[in-house]
Amino acid sequence: MCGIVGYIGPKSVDSVLLVGLTRLEYRGYDSAGIAVLDSGELQVRKEKGKIKDLERLLQAHPVEGNIGIGHTRWATHGEPNRKNAHPHVDTHKRIAVAHNGIIENHFELKQELVREGHVFHSDTDTEVIPHLVEEELKKGMEIEAALFNTIQRLRGRYAFVLLYEKDPSRIFFARDGSPLVYGHGKGESFLASDVPAIVPAALEHYVIENQQWGWVTRDELHLLDYGKQSVGFELKKIEMNVQDLDKGGFDHFMLKEIFEQSGVMRGIINERIAEGGKVVFGEKNNSNEFLSRLSRIIITSAGTSWHAGLVGKAYLERFAKISTEVDLSSEFRYRNPVAEGDTKVLAISQSGETADTIASIYEAKAKFIRVLSFVNNTSSTIARESNSFIDLKAGPEIGVASTKAYTAQLMNLLLYALFLAGVKWILDKDERMRIFDEIRRIPDQIDQILSRADVIRQWAADFRETKDFVFLGRSFNYPTALEGALKLKEVSYIHASGYAGGEFKHGPIALITDEVPVVCITPQGEIYEKMISNIEEVRARKGKIISIHTEGDEKVPGMSDYSFGIPQCSELISPILAVIPLQLLAYYVAVERGCEPDQPRNLAKSVTVE
C-alpha cells in the first residue's frame, strides 16, 4: 500500500513523477503529493484524492526542476486529507520524505522530538523520519550519517525516499520490509515501489533488498547495508511491455483484464504443457525425491488468492493425493502450525507483497518448512523470500479487483497438482490425456463466455438499488461463490455473502426475501441435484434466482429469473469458467451504480500492512 517514486535526470521532474504515480495508483489513492528541488528550494505540492487532483493543483501552482520524489497514499495513520498527504517535511522544510510502510515506534519518537522543539505538521507516523534526520543534522552530522542514525531508530516496515534541499544531486533511500526498486535509464535514475512506475524510460533495474540504504545520482546507485558496508549489485534488463500498462481501448482495467483471460490461459498452457502431456515447471523447484514423499501441503494466502487456494486444495487432493489445508495468511501465524513430516507451504499471491502472506512465509521458514510461492510478480518480496516460486504468468494486473490473476492461479494450481501426480506416478495415462484435452479447450471456452458479456451487462440495471446478494456453490464451486461475492462487494459496494450450498439451510436461508437475489452456481456434475434443491428452497421463499449453469441444461434456466450458460466441461474445470460471468456481473453492476471499479473505496491492490 502506498506508492513511492523518485527521479533525478534531464526531464521535467513533475511530469515524470506524475506518470510514475499514476502507474502506482493501484497501491492507494487517498491522497498524492510531490516534493521537488525548484531553483535550489524545496517545494511541496500535495492534495487529497487521486493523482488527477494533484495534477490540477500542479497546473494552478506549477513547480520546475530535475530532482524530486512523489507519493500516492493508502491511509494508515491519520485521516486521508491534504495535511496527512506525503511527502512530509522537517520543522524547517528542508528535508522531504515519501514513505511506504508503518513506523511502529513513531509515538515515542514523536514525543521525544517534540520535547526537542520539533514542530509536526501531520498525524502520520512518517513525519518522524524527516524530523529525526533534521535532529541528527543539528548535531553536526553529514547527511549520510544523519540518515544512517535515523534508520537505526526506526521500528516497523518501510521503504522511503528522501530529498534534502542542501544536496541537490542525490535522492536518499532506505528499505526494510516494503518494496523499492532502482531503475537506470539514459543519464537518469529512478526509485519506485514497483517497476511499472519507471518504464519505458528505465532500461535496467535492481530490486533493493531489506536493510539496504544509500542514494542515487543521475548516473548511479550507491548502495550500503545496515553495517555501513558498500554492497555490490547487478542491474537487470527490464522486460515489461508498456501496452500492458494502459487500458487498450477498454473503459476500465478491470474489464480489460477480464477479457484478457483467454490469452492468459493460452500462454500458461503453451508454457507448461509439453508434447506428450508432460507438465513443465521451469522454475527452481524441489527435488522429485522430496516431492514424491510429500505428505502434507499447507496453502497460505489472502482474499481472492485464498479462494484460489481453496480450489487448489481440491486439485491437490484429487490428483496428487496429498492432504492439503488452506489458511488465511493472517491466521496462519497465530495458530502455531504443527510442522511434522514432509510438509510444504504454498504461498499464493498476485502482488507478491501482501504483508500477511509474507509474515506466514517467515513463520513457515522458522519451522523449517519449505515454501513454494505462486506469484505474479517474480521480483516481489514473496518470490524472493520463498525457497522457490512459480510465475503465474497473468501479466500486469492493475485493476484493484483481481480477475485474470485468479484464473491464472487456478490454472497453475491445477497444473501443479497434475505435475505432482506425475512425479508420484499416480495418474493413469488415459485420465491424464482426458484432462489435458479438457484444459486445452479452456481458452476457447472463455472466449465463448466473453462473447456473450452483453447478456450480463443488460442484467445490471435491475440490480442498481439492490442491497444484498447471496452466492451459493458446492464442492469445486464453493470457492467460486465466495469469489463472486467478494468481487461484487469490492467494486459495487453491495453487501454480498458466499456460502456452501449445504450450509445454506443451517442459517443463511433466513436472509432470503423477494428482494435478495441468489446466485446459484449449478454446473453439471456430482453436486448438480443438490444445487437444484438449493434453487427450490430459494424459490419457495420468493428469492430471485440468478443461475450459472452448463449450456444445454434444460432444467435450471426454467427455474431461474436470470440464467447464463457456461460451456460443457467437467466439474473440476468449472471454477475456471463459472467465475467469469460473476466477474462481469460485479463489473457491470458497479458501473451501473456509478462506482469506479478500478479503484474501489478504501482498498489498495497490494496490502502491505498486517
Residues annotated catalytic, as ranges = 2, 605
Contact pick of 262, 324, 381, 402 for ligand M6R (by CB under 6 A)? 402
Helical pair 128-138 and 143-153, crossing angle rounded to 10 deg: 130
How far is it, in rounded angstroms, from Cα 20 to Cα 70? 8
The CB-of-487 to ligand M6R minimum distance in angstroms stands at: 7
Determine the 3-state secondary structure of 157 from DSSP.
Answer: strand
The CB-of-207 to ligand M6R minimum distance in angstroms stands at: 17
* Nearer to ligand M6R among residue 305 and residue 475 (C-beta): 305
If one asks whether residue 350 binds ligand M6R (CB under 6 A), the answer comes out as yes
The CB-of-469 to ligand M6R minimum distance in angstroms stands at: 16
How far is it, in rounded angstroms, from Cα 308 to Cα 316? 12
How far is it, in rounded angstroms, from Cα 428 to Cα 435? 11
If one asks whether residue 302 binds ligand M6R (CB under 6 A), the answer comes out as yes
If one asks whether residue 351 binds ligand M6R (CB under 6 A), the answer comes out as yes
How far is it, in rounded angstroms, from Cα 167 to Cα 9? 15
- Exposure string of 548-561, with b = 16+ CB inside 10 Å and e = fewer, is bbbbebeebeebbe
If one asks whether residue 412 binds ligand M6R (CB under 6 A), the answer comes out as no
If one asks whether residue 354 binds ligand M6R (CB under 6 A), the answer comes out as yes
The CB-of-376 to ligand M6R minimum distance in angstroms stands at: 8
If one asks whether residue 303 binds ligand M6R (CB under 6 A), the answer comes out as yes
Q: In what order do the strands lie in the sheet with 388-391?
A: 323-328, 296-301, 343-349, 370-375, 388-391
Contact pick of 154, 171, 279, 401 for ligand M6R (by CB under 6 A)? 401
The CB-of-334 to ligand M6R minimum distance in angstroms stands at: 18
How far is it, in rounded angstroms, from Cα 395 to Cα 542? 43
Q: Which stretch binds ligand M6R (CB under 6 A): 5-13, 227-235, 258-266, 350-358?
A: 350-358
Q: Which stretch binds ligand M6R (CB under 6 A): 130-138, 410-418, 537-545, 600-608?
A: 600-608
* Nearer to ligand M6R among residue 70 and residue 399 (C-beta): 399
C-alpha cell at 373: 510461492
If one asks whether residue 254 binds ligand M6R (CB under 6 A), the answer comes out as no
Residue corresponding to grid cell 518470490: 383
How far is it, in rounded angstroms, from Cα 75 to Cα 601? 12
How far is it, in rounded angstroms, from Cα 311 to Cα 308? 5
Residue corresponding to grid cell 487529497: 48
**Binding positions for ligand M6R, 304-323, rule CB under 6 A:** 304-305
The CB-of-349 to ligand M6R minimum distance in angstroms stands at: 3
If one asks whether residue 357 binds ligand M6R (CB under 6 A), the answer comes out as yes
Helices marked H in 91-127 — which ranges? 106-115
How far is it, in rounded angstroms, from Cα 348 to Cα 80? 30
How many residues bind ligand M6R (CB under 6 A)? The answer is 16
Residue corresponding to grid cell 518494496: 179
Residue type, position 100, single letter: N
**Binding positions for ligand M6R, 480-519, rule CB under 6 A:** 490
Q: Is 424 exposed, middle or buried (0-12, 13-18, 19+ CB in 10 A)?
A: middle
Determine the 3-state secondary structure of 230 from DSSP.
Answer: strand
The CB-of-402 to ligand M6R minimum distance in angstroms stands at: 4
* Nearer to ligand M6R among residue 89 and residue 383 (C-beta): 383
Contact pick of 58, 109, 590, 607 for ligand M6R (by CB under 6 A)? 607
If one asks whether residue 261 binds ligand M6R (CB under 6 A), the answer comes out as no
Output the residue with the shortest Cβ distance to ligand M6R: 303
The CB-of-603 to ligand M6R minimum distance in angstroms stands at: 6
The DSSP-derived string for 45-67 is EEEES-HHHHHHHHHHS----SE
* Nearer to ligand M6R among residue 17 and residue 591 (C-beta): 591
If one asks whether residue 524 binds ligand M6R (CB under 6 A), the answer comes out as no
Binding site for ligand M6R (CB under 6 A): 302-305, 349-351, 354, 357, 400-402, 490, 603, 606-607
